[in-house]
Amino acid sequence: MRVPLNDLRRSCHRDGDAIAAAMTRVVARGWVLFGPELTAFEAAFAAYCGAGHCLGVGNGTDAMELALRVLGVGPGDEVVTVANAGFYATTAILAVGARPVFADVDAETLTLSPAALADALTPRTRAVVATHLYGRLADMDGILAAADAIPVIEDCAQAHGARRAGRRAGSFGAIGCFSFYPTKNLGALGDAGAVVTSDPTLADRLRALRQYGWREKYVVAELGGRNSRMDEIQAAVLALRLPSLDAGNARRRAIKERYRAAIPGPVPGWATPIGQDDVAHLAVVRSPDRARLAAALASAGVDTAVHYPVPDHHQPAVRPLLLGPVNLPVTEQAAAQILTLPCFPDMTEDEVGHVAAALAAAWVHPA
């Protein structure tokens, strides 16, 4: 048996008839941008997240860039973020002309450490980007306390539907940013993203910035605008998939729990049981001998990957921009140990059992 890391054909086949009907509806209407499909999805997703407003945009990285712009972040400013989340936040920070300042992550959750955040803040800090990595909510209470009056942007690209104490990802900070890339827990048929906020002033500015800064057609009222629009087909697909998001998240948690149960001994970063604040976007284990574990799983037909192999401060393009040494011991140790296992709702029970058995056979617990 070969178990893929993901297989988008399965979700496309599962939803195929509904997707075809949605696309036919959009084509028949002839309204392809800023139409009723987007309006309906924005309202539904805002309500789902517990936010006052949702603005559909082109992709998740655009969402973060626009969030930074609407908060007034620009050249000379600093934004504190983590270095272990795939460079997406760093891309947005650099795009607005600001400087990323990297803070270390919590050793258990691999999300932004509030203590490290507090140490990284300077008088030039204009915003904080907190990533809910692998589907697990970061310590938002601690992060918001450490940030104090500095606005916090939630990077929710991997955490659609994660909730804690009755609140969902995207509703804790000033702004929440989502990607709907096809592999996400809520995925479109291509690129799409959204920004959520309960601040009507920020929402009003975001609405303008996503379309050139227009307040009305051809009238530019906000500088820093761009063309970043979610089209009607993507909005329609996301709206039809949103009602099944919680069930998909539950399935992901169940798969991750099967893996946890198969591994002898505790698994770093995996709570027992896995809670509602973890939607298991990725099932990531840590091994001091990752190469051996990956090879053993490959020999058993199990695909794996590394999310993410190169911390942001080690990326070749960023090194010249750093003002001095960056000390992130937890981030760097994790980057050498993490390994992603197959975990997606359309996996069969046989596939899940096969991965669990391969894990049990290959796992060597650190002394």
Kindly list the domain boundaries of the chain, sorted by start residue: 8-243, 245-362
> For residue 272, what pLDDT band results from cuts at 50, 70 and 90?
confident
Options 3.40.50.300, 2.130.10.30, 3.90.1150.10, 3.20.20.70; CATH of 245-362? 3.90.1150.10
Predicted local distance difference test score (pLDDT) of residue 170: 98
267-271 mean pLDDT: 84
Peptide bond into 212 cis (omega under 30): no
Residue 104 or 265, more confident: 104
Q: Report the pLDDT averaged over residues 53-82.
A: 98
Three-class DSSP category at 214: strand
Per-residue pLDDT at 264: 85
Task: Give 7-41 pLDDT, tens digit per residue.
Answer: 999 999 999 999 999 999 999 999 999 999 999 99
pLDDT tens string 207-261: 999 999 999 999 999 999 999 999 999 999 999 999 999 999 999 999 999 999 9
60 three-state secondary structure? helix
Q: What local confidence, expressed as pLDDT, does residue 158 receive?
A: 98
Which residues pair with residue 235 across a beta bridge?
Answer: none
Query: Is 366 a residue whose pLDDT tops 60?
Result: no
Q: Does residue 164 carry a pLDDT above 70?
A: yes
Beta-bridged to residue 101, according to DSSP, are: 80
Strands 125-131 and 152-155: parallel
Average pLDDT value over all residues in the chain = 96
**pLDDT at residue 367, as a whole number:** 45
Tell me how far CA of residue 168 lies from CA of 9, 47, 74, 81, in angstroms: 29, 10, 29, 21
Q: Is the pTM of this model over 0.85?
A: yes
291-296 long-range contacts (CB < 8 A, ≥24 apart) are 292/362, 292/364, 293/339, 293/362, 293/363, 293/364, 294/339, 296/358, 296/361, 296/362
Q: Which two tokens stand for residue 148?
A: 């104090």
Q: Which CATH architecture has domain 8-243?
A: 3-Layer(aba) Sandwich (3.40)
